[in-house]
Chain A
Amino acid sequence: MRKVLITLVMLSLLTTGFLFAGGKTETDANAPTSLVVSSRLWSPAAEQKFLYDEVFPEFEKENNVVVKFEILDDTVLLKRAKLQAETGRVTTDVVIVHNGVMDQWISNNYVEELPVSDWKGRTFSAAFMDSITSGGKTYFAPVGGDVYLLLANKKALKYLPAGVDVQDITWEQYVDWAVAIADGEGEGKTAVTGVPMKSLIYMYGGMFLSYGGEFPVINSPGAIEGWKLLTKLHKAYSPTVMTYDNVTAPMKSGETWLTVAHMARTGEAYRSNPSNYVIAKAPKGPKGIGSIAGVSGFGIPVGAENRDLALKFIEFMTRPDIAVKVARGTGGFLPPIDEAIAVLGDSPVDEVIKKGVMVLQTGVVSGVPGSAYTSWGAVKQVYDDVFAEMIIGTGVFDKALLDAAQAKLEALKK
């Protein structure tokens, strides 16, 4: 028995030793010959394929590198940044993160300052400047801007109130339309992202802007106007709206007919069959069209192994002609670069981008003040909870609930 025992112990020790040794030799074999780009943006499979096929080759040829592009969501990107910073093995060269978390990257010193003034021929759109800079320094180069658009299934058009133009609709008319659809069809057919911590806050926050609200104050006079109107949607939302983490699927399947949502999501549904949908700017309020403008940004992790190449890559990707190409090919995001927008503005190529540019240029637009709060996710939840209780739950406007929610928001402020 003892022999077997000793053999087993030896075996397990050997195995462990082998694992460690095996690990070490492989490290050397993996000498970085490639530029690692970890991105939250362009995640749909077709968009990834477009980048591989039509964007990266030009850069790879010019600089004799291989771009290793990988999709990771923001939480994972941050975790990995923490791991790489702590162990000093920074193997990511470029990150693309959302403006909701940029502050965490900057305040933890995970990214370095970018020499934006060296890059000629491009002006980053003013709407996004707050997010990408901190203390007068620019840490991120903006990419993939987004605003909110209206998408309607053509079957919904027969319920459109008389005299209303979808391309120039007010929030009151939108709500009436949604209610008319629900009455006519016997079930709610309007969509928002009801799953918590997604984009509900932007959908509603954008609307409140159009009533003079201030983002993300939940009980401003403008927001109160907005909430009052939204309570009418109590029965107009789809019965399973609370399980939508994305409006694309219900809009594509015809489970819902009407939504105001992120232009990438509405764009995805629209492009799946353009003859089936109408796409328009977001509805307007007394102050015009309100929309939250989101953006992502290229950043370079502190200590990146291929820093110079990474700079070249960002310079390449923010060139107006490339930005336009990427925006068209990945369809659904705006290039946040004025020179690129100028080219796109009057181009009929992409319906979705065109509508987005109109919102951005003519609307009341706010960025995402993620850096002002300890946790932007918790801020989102405040909106999600009010939505669940007041819009879906009771359908009755409740000022006290909004005040309590605002108190929660205040408590989350830094």
Chain B
Amino acid sequence: MNNAIKRQLKRSAKRSSLYIVLAGIAFIIIFPIFFLFSFSFMSDYETYSEWPKPLIPSFKANFMIDKNSEGYHLLIFNKSEDKYMPFGPLVFTNSQEDIDNLRKFIKLQSNSKITSQKIMEYLKIVDSKSRVEFSIKKDLLANYILFFQVVNGAPKAVLNSLMVAGATILISLTIGGMGGYAFARYFFKGKNILKLSVLFVRMFPAVSLAIPMVIILAKMGLYDQPLGLSLVYSVGQISMSIWITASVFMAIPVSLEEAAMIFGTTRAGAFLHVTLPLALPGLAASAMYSFIGSWNEVIAAVVLTQFNPTFPVVVYKALVGSQGQINLITAGSVAQALPAIIFTLIIRKYIIQMWGGVKV
């Protein structure tokens, strides 16, 4: 009795310490990514003019307009300073041009939309009461909207990217998987040297090969073809696939295949029904690396494409000049990262096999 309680206590202590560790790891992973997302919903003013910066985006912006002998002034509420701070032009009048510029400024810097008429109305209140305070709902998606307005042909680029990634997976998994199986299951002359030289492909810095490689492709008529890109990406991916699949095939005991063959299957049948399912996690991992590698690659793609850019290329073109607008960059980053994250969400199922060992 006493022992049973002890054991149970011990088990629950073990379990809670496991979940504490897990929570800690999860925190470390999520912490930086959280800010990436959070900034992408903030306005320029929120990300730059507050110190400390807000940790979560606000849903509205508060403004005040007052006036003195020179004209009207716009102020915005700054949370970290806990007061209204000057915002926009030093001074403005109620001319149509000034109001129009003010409207644009408010939208651009605080992601809040207001009509010119509304501003006019507020100015009338200021005239009678000397000041007016008002709040405008913030457009949370404003950065994404601007980003997609600047990005040219995003849907087509996403499609191109998916094609490139798909072809890269196909090429590197078939060619690499075959090689991997050979290295795992057969003994032949020059195996170690061959296996090492396959790896040498990843050892030579890719940056100094990209252009010559691209020129070869261009001469083959594959310039600006999304699928030509996958041939470039496959170079590095094949070698990785070979090593990963080889190690996975090696970890699967040959005896399992042999056992299956005793029960009357051919070698190919044994491979398909026994080895392949067991190797699936390795193949999935290798496919995932191919996907992520080609989805995120930009250095070769930016040179090799023109009318058929991949998504990272259009993202790069949209963001390369926006170093001073971290909110916009984070929005673009999130847009580019999401498909890869979704892909990992799908593929994780195959990496971790809940059914455990295989029954022959």
Task: Establish whether residues B325 and A8, one from each chain, have CB atoms under 8 Å apart when the complex forms.
Answer: no
| B289 interface contact, C-beta 8 A | no
A70 to chain B, nearest CB (A): 5
Instruction: Indicate the member of B51, B85, B149, B308 with the most A CB atoms within 10 Å.
Output: B149
Query: Contacts A30-B307, A87-B215, A275-B90: A47 and B149 contacting too (C-beta < 8 A)?
Result: no
CB <8 Å contact, B227 and A70: no
Looking at the assembled complex, report how far the CB atom of B89 sits from the nearest CB atom of chain A, in whole angstroms: 5
- CB-CB contacts below 8 Å: B255-289 with A: 266-268, 271-272
In the complex, residue of chain B having the shortest beta-carbon distance to the beta carbon of A47: B321
Q: Of A9, A49, A82, A252, which one neighbours B146 at CB under 8 angstroms?
A: A49
Q: Smallest CB–CB gap between A166 and chain B, Å?
A: 15
The answer, among A23, A46, A76, for a CB contact under 8 Å with B225, is: A23
Chain B interface size band reads 35 or more
Q: Are A273 and B88 in contact (CB under 8 A)?
A: yes
B228:A23 contact, CB within 8 angstroms: yes
Set of chain A residues within 8 Å of B45, measured between Cβ atoms: 272-273
State which of A22, A44, A265 has its C-beta within 8 Å of the C-beta of B227: A22
- Residue of B89, B231, B271 touching A19 (CB-CB under 8 A): B231
**Bound-state Cα–Cα, A246 to B323, Å:** 7
A67-110 to B contact mask, C-beta < 8 Å, 1/0 = 01011110010011011001101011000000000000000000
Question: Which B residue sits closest to A273, measured CB to CB?
Answer: B87
Q: How far is the CA of A5 from the CA of B186 in the complex (A)?
A: 14
A87 and B89 within 8 A (CB): no
Q: Is A254 part of the contact surface with B, judged by Cβ < 8 Å?
A: yes
Instruction: Please name the residue on chain B nearest to A15 by beta carbon.
Output: B170
A276 sits at the interface (CB 8 A) = yes
* Contact pick for A48, options B228, B307, B318, CB 8 Å: B318
Tell me the complex Cα distance, A27–B324, Å.
38
Interface check A42, CB cutoff 8 A:
yes
Asked if residues B267 and A1 are in contact (CB atoms below 8 Å), the reply is: yes
In the bound assembly, the distance between CA atoms of A86 and B174 in angstroms comes to 33
List the B residue with the shortest CB-CB distance to A89: B223
Inter-chain contact B303/A83, CB cutoff 8 Å: yes
Contact string against A for B residues 135-152, beta-carbon threshold 8 Å, 1 for contact and 0 otherwise:
000000000001101101
Q: Taking the complex as formed, is A401 at the interface, i.e. its CB lies under 8 A from any CB of chain B?
A: no
CB of B328 closer than 8 Å to a CB of A: yes
> Is B218's beta carbon under 8 Å from chain A?
yes
A384 at the interface (CB under 8 A from B): no
The A-contacting residues of B in range 294-330, CB under 8 angstroms, are 302-304, 306-308, 317-326, 328
Pair B266/A80 contact, Cβ less than 8 Å:
no
Contact status B307-A275, CB under 8 Å: no
Q: Does B108 contact A (CB under 8 A)?
A: yes
Within 8 A of A (CB), among B333-347: none
Contact A249 B303 (CB under 8 A): no
- Report the nearest A residue to B272, measured CB to CB: A4
Question: How far apart sit A187 and B1, CA to CA, in the bound complex (Å)?
Answer: 67
Assess whether B147 is in contact with A45, with CB atoms less than 8 Å apart: yes
B221 contacts the other chain (CB 8 A):
yes
Which residues of B lie under 8 Å from residue A70 when comparing CB positions?
Answer: 152, 317
Query: Is B48 positioned at the interface, with any CB of A under 8 Å from its CB?
Result: yes
Find chain B residues with CB under 8 A from A71 CB. Answer: 317-318, 320-321
B175 within 8 Å of A (CB atoms): yes
Contact between A4 and B271, CB atoms less than 8 A apart: yes
- B57 CB within 8 Å of chain A: no
Interface assignment of B167: CB less than 8 Å from any CB of chain A: yes
Residues of B within 8 A of A272 (CB): 44-45, 48, 109, 324
**In the complex, chain B residues whose CB is within 8 Å of the CB of A83:** 211, 214-215, 218, 223, 303-304
When A23-B222, A23-B227 are in contact, do A45 and B215 touch as well, CB less than 8 Å?
Answer: no
The answer to whether B211 and A45 have CB atoms under 8 Å apart is: no
Name B91's closest neighbour in chain A (CB-CB). Answer: A275
Inter-chain contact total with CB atoms closer than 8 Å:
157
How far apart are the CA atoms of A290 and B201 in the complex, in Å? Answer: 51
Cα(A370)–Cα(B128), bound, Å: 61
Q: Tell me how many residues of A have a C-beta within 8 Å of chain B.
A: 57
Cβ of B324: which chain A residues have Cβ within 8 Å of it? 44, 246, 248-249, 252, 265, 268-269, 272
1/0 per position for A252-272, CB-CB distance to B under 8 A? 111000000000010011001
* CB-based contact A273/B325 at 8 Å: no
- Distance to closest chain B CB from A24 (angstroms): 6
Complex interface residues of chain A between 1 and 44 (CB less than 8 A to chain B): 1, 3-5, 8-9, 11-12, 15-16, 19-20, 22-24, 26-27, 30, 36, 42-44
What residues on B are CB-neighbors of A11 within 8 Å? 174
Contacts of A3 in B (CB 8 A): 268
Interface membership of B154, Cβ < 8 A? no
In the complex, A299 Cα to B108 Cα: how many Å?
33
On whether A26 and B325 interact (CB within 8 A), knowing A1-B267, A19-B231, the answer reads no
Closest residue on chain A to residue B319 by CB atoms: A45
A331 to B42, CA, bound (A): 24
Chain A residue numbers with a CB within 8 Å of B152 are: 68, 70
With A3-B268, A12-B174, A49-B149 as contacts: A249 and B167 at CB distance below 8 Å: no
Min C-beta distance of A243 to chain B, whole Å: 12
A24 to B228, CA, bound (A): 11
Does B178 make an interface contact (CB < 8 A)? Answer: yes
CB neighbors of A among B59-90 (8 A):
73, 85-90
With contact pairs A1-B271, A30-B308, A46-B146 given, residues A274 and B88 touching in the complex (Cβ less than 8 Å): yes
Nearest Cβ on chain B to A140's Cβ, whole angstroms = 20
A12 to B267 alpha-carbon distance, docked (Å)? 21
Residue of A nearest to B329 (CB): A45
Decide: B147 and A36 in contact? CB cutoff 8 A: no
Residue ID in chain A nearest B101 by CB atoms: A349
Q: Which residue of the partner chain, among B87, B304, B319, contacts A275 with CB atoms under 8 Å?
A: B87
Q: A44–B108 Cα gap in the complex (Å)?
A: 13
Are A92 and B306 neighbours in the complex by a CB distance under 8 Å? yes
A305 shortest CB reach to chain B, Å: 11
Contact of B49 among A23, A92, A254, A274 (CB under 8 A): A254
Chain B residues whose C-beta falls within 8 Å of the C-beta of A24 in the assembled complex? 221
Contact of B150 with A254 in the complex, beta carbons under 8 Å: no
16 contacting pairs across A/B (C-beta < 8 A): A1-B266, A1-B267, A15-B174, A24-B221, A45-B147, A45-B321, A70-B317, A72-B317, A76-B302, A80-B303, A89-B223, A91-B307, A246-B324, A253-B51, A254-B48, A273-B87
* 9 more A-B residue pairs beyond the given contacts A23-B221, A70-B152, A87-B223, with a C-beta to C-beta distance below 8 A: A19-B227, A44-B321, A49-B146, A71-B321, A76-B303, A83-B214, A254-B49, A275-B86, A276-B86
By Cβ-Cβ distance, the 7 closest A-B pairs, closest first, are A43-B321, A248-B324, A275-B86, A23-B225, A252-B48, A87-B218, A4-B268
